[in-house]
Amino acid sequence: MGKLATGFNVDILYPDEYNDFIAEIYFEGNFICIISQEHGSQDLDIEFNIYSVEKKLRVSLSHFRGAIDYAVERLYDLRKR
């Protein structure tokens, strides 16, 4: 599994309102998005909440992609168990 770029954090959760694990992605402590498996592991959804951030966030696209890839890998690993 790859490493996250500095400032990124991924939390894997199983909230009651979802039918499977989700991944929350944060940058410098600010929530960016949720990746959910509501439609199966081959059709992941990404949810953004633009109102949760008080300041404008600017992140590297390649680092953000890396965080998404990391989250998807962790979700996939949980499905294999």
Residues 47-66 pLDDT 10s: 987 666 666 777 888 999 99
Domain span at residue 28 reads: 8-80
In a domain, 3, yes or no: no
Residues 6-34 pLDDT 10s: 999 999 999 999 989 999 999 999 889 99
Tokens of 50: 């633009």
Indicate the SS3 state at residue 17: coil
Cα 73 from Cα 67, distance rounded (Å): 10
The number of domains in the chain is 1
Strand partners, 36: 22, 45
The predicted model scores a pTM of 0.82
Which residue has tokens 């951030």?
53
Q: In the β-sheet with 22-27, what is the strand arrangement from edge to edge? A: 8-13, 22-27, 30-36, 45-48
